[in-house]
Amino acid sequence: MFERFTTEARQTVVGAQDEARLLHAPRIGTEHLLLALLAQEGSTSAAVLARHGLTHDSVVETIRGYGTSDLDAEALTTLGIDLDAVRDRVEATFGPGALEGGPVRSPDGHIPFTPRAKKVLELSLREAIAGKSKSIRDGHLALGLLREGEGLAMKALHDRGVDTTGLRRDLTAALAS
């Protein structure tokens, strides 16, 4: 399937791995694919995403906000769990930064994709076929994210107020031109 990817689409996949590393993620998720699309200045999908109010930095900020919040700590406290005490104990046992969760890497150093991100790649092929395209472009990856419809990428889009129907329409039009 990857032989059908354009240079920009391949760069998106490689960029997703870089984004996962930067965010210390154990796997490449849909959010990393979205970030990689946004990081490709001058690409079709980055331009369309920008017109819908998305920037790489704003999405990174949104995704980082999905970590443990004060509300989570408060909820655990009501159950009698002191989150700070748990962190201290884990770090005392396993060393500082044990909860950071470094990437799970294959023997060749690549970070694996989540099942949902793999599905996005598959759906990008379906989007290309539906658009009668012989190659898979970065815009098809963006359409695959929308078609998959779940995951942190979609949560970030919804939380940032993106009209996903309008985004799909604009991506499809950009790919057709």
Domain ranges of the chain: 2-66+103-176
CA atoms within 13 A on the CB side of 28: 25
Is the separation of the CB atoms in 121 and 12 below 8 Å?
A: no
Q: What is the pLDDT of residues 121-166, one digit of tens each?
A: 999 999 999 999 999 999 999 999 999 998 899 999 999 999 999 9
- pTM flag (> 0.85): no
Is the model's pLDDT at 71 over the cut of 60? no
Alpha helices per DSSP H over 65-114? 70-78, 83-94
Name which residue leads in pLDDT, 72 or 16. 16
The answer to whether the beta carbons of residues 143 and 49 sit under 8 Å apart is no
pLDDT of residue 76: 63
Letter string b/e over residues 89-101, b meaning 16 or more CB atoms within 10 A of that residue's CB = eeeeeeeeeeeee
Say yes or no to pLDDT of 94 above 80.
Answer: no
Contact status, residue 7 vs residue 128, Cβ threshold 8 Å: no
Collect all residues with Cβ–Cβ distance below 8 Å to 138 and sequence separation of at least 6.
6, 8, 9, 11, 12, 37, 40, 43, 44, 45, 46
Instruction: Indicate whether 103 pLDDT > 50.
Output: no
CATH topology assigned to domain 2-66+103-176: Double Clp-N motif (1.10.1780)
Q: What pLDDT band is residue 106 in, cutting at 50, 70 and 90?
A: low
